[in-house]
Amino acid sequence: MDVEVLRDGYRYNLHFEKGENIGGLQKTPIKSKQTGTKTHWKPDLDVFTEIAVPDDYFQDVLKRQAVVNPNLLFVYRKEQEDGSFAEQHFLYENGISDYVHEIAGDTALTSIQTWSCQREGRDREDKPDYKVKLSVALTFSNRIQKVEYYHNSSFLEHGGSPERAVKQALVSQIDSYLKQNNKYLKNEGKVTFTDVEDCLILVSSSFSTQTSYENQTKKAITNKFIYEAMTEFLKHQIEIYFIENPDEATKIAEQVIVNKRSRENAEKTRLNMKKNLAGSMDLTNRIDKFVDCRSKDLSRRELYIVEGDSALGSVKMARDADFQAVIPVRGKILNCLKADYNRIFKNEIITDIIKLLGCGVEVKTKANKELSSFNLDGLRWNKIVICTDADVDGFQIRTLILTMLYCLTPTLIDQGYVYIAESPLFEITTKKRTYFAYTEKEKADILKKIKNEKYTLQRSKGLGENEADMMALTTMNPDTRRLIKVTPSGIEETAAMFDLLLGDDLQGRKDFIAQYGNQYLELADIS
């Protein structure tokens, strides 16, 4: 880093490397009366993990400096590839007042107010006095909200004393005005700063000869005197402003009341929804053979839809009861592509699954009128996992469950909530370890790997006959299981294939099997 300072008829130069001054201070007399400081620096890769500083950073810093230093021009020059320089100027003649006007644009409900004062005091009796200069510019808007605090030209990301003063003064004075003008309903609670902030555009800039920062990052100040002086000053200014501008005071009061009641209504809606969801969760206790999990954290909860009671027993013992729930499919599930909706919604297992999902349905009638009972916000699960045997019957049940979800809740597939749990086709056991193969190719690769070792090969007999430890390892444990995420890609082709294989087009299905069936002979159960 090179620093050059011009002042008092001299040029001062300093050079730094690795944080150390190299060569000391160089002082040279000059004849010019020019003053100023020039800093030329290059980030050191040994110190910084990233040295590609983006343009946005420099532009943001210079803009903020222009805001709190009225009528001071800041110029950002960036060298282009051809050697020329692109320039960007930052200038706010009236400082924070112009900045508030820029933010508000044409959305302001009220005129822009700019207030300034100087105070002198101390943080404690045993501390010396220091001087403070306070400046605040504000307006109100029902479209834009922005509050920023600066101290000694630095942006206070976390505010501190100025933020506390603004909250105290605005809430106190607006609440007092509302009470005096009978704006509150009977037994209505007072406004909060959230209600005020929702329609507030305010920029505060303060300077002091003594500053106490909250921590090394200097994102907030903690000066007690600045808080007390600013609170008193703002209360006085707001009181005068309301008296001198009754029309604007009324607009502010009415907008804050609207914000307050909107917030309270939203909170009531949220609590009611939470209560309803909790009540709906209680309904799951009445669904036959459903086994719930303990966690209420929707980001963890998983619902396993399994094939029959025997699979239910194995999965129940193998699951993590904290976040994995299970419901068995009792009997063969209805083909939703062939059945009419009256029949679908009379099917017990389908209605049980829909109840457990908690989001309703989004099917369309033949008249193409969409039923509007679907609500993704009510979904009670992070994953819906279809878990069936690795045989022909299991594949068919899996397809029928997928068809049901595709017909009744396609958004769950579109948003990535639906998964298929792969269960192994083969268990290969040697003296040293047990291998699981999910395909014929994996089986061949494993046999090739173990070479001449003695082994036993067992084909999967179904989920119901699996040991709990094996089920946990291969199907339930998030660290070792295999899940296939059902995606919406090729949704039109998928819909056409579902309709062909499971719909009413018998001749089309026969033609397809006659043409392509030979490709799937190894999967067919022809024993």
CB 149, CB 162: distance < 8 Å:
yes
Averaged pLDDT of the chain:
88
Among 523, 316, 308, smallest CA distance to 425 is for: 523
pLDDT at 527: 46
- The DSSP bridge partners found for residue 115 are 136
| Distance in angstroms (rounded) separating the CA atoms of residues 404 and 344 | 9
3-class state of residue 198 by DSSP: coil
Question: pLDDT value at position 276?
Answer: 66
Nearest 10 degrees: CA dihedral of 385, 390, 395, 399? Answer: 10
- DSSP notation for 468-515: HHHHIIIII-TTT--EEEP--TTHHHHHHHHHHHHSS-HHHHHHHHHH
Select from 526, 508, 505 the least CA-distant residue to 516: 508
Q: How many residues does the chain have?
A: 527
Q: Which pLDDT score, from 0 to 100, does residue 153 have?
A: 95
Residue 282 has what pLDDT? 56
Exposure letters 268-277 (e unless 16+ CB within 10 A, then b): eeeeeeeeeb
Instruction: Name the CATH superfamily for 2-90.
Output: Histidine kinase-like ATPase, C-terminal domain (3.30.565.10)
Neighbours of 298 (CB within 10 A): 12
CATH says 302-423+460-516 is which class? alpha beta
pTM metric for this prediction: 0.54
For the domain covering 96-268, report its CATH number.
Answer: 3.30.230.10
CA 137 vs CA 115, 153, 194: distances in Å:
6, 15, 19
Domain ranges of the chain: 2-90, 96-268, 302-423+460-516
Distance CA 206, CA 226 (A): 9
What residue has token string 């669904």? 287
- pLDDT tens string, the chain, 527 residues long: the values are 999 999 999 999 999 998 899 999 999 999 888 898 999 888 888 878 888 888 899 999 999 999 999 999 999 999 889 999 999 999 999 999 999 999 999 889 999 999 999 999 999 999 999 999 999 999 999 999 999 999 999 999 999 999 999 999 999 999 999 999 999 999 999 999 999 999 999 999 999 999 999 887 889 999 999 999 999 999 999 999 999 999 999 999 999 999 999 999 999 888 887 766 665 555 556 687 899 999 989 999 999 999 888 788 888 889 999 999 999 987 777 888 777 777 888 888 888 888 889 888 886 544 444 444 688 888 999 999 999 887 777 888 888 898 888 888 889 998 999 999 988 888 898 988 888 888 889 999 999 998 888 888 888 767 777 778 888 888 899 998 999 998 877 555 666 676 677 666 778 778 888 887 777 666 555 54
Residue type, 341: Y
375-404: b (≥16 Cβ within 10 Å) or e: eeeebbbebbbbbbbbbeebeebbbbbbbb
Give CA 173 to chain center in angstroms. 35
pLDDT at 373: 67
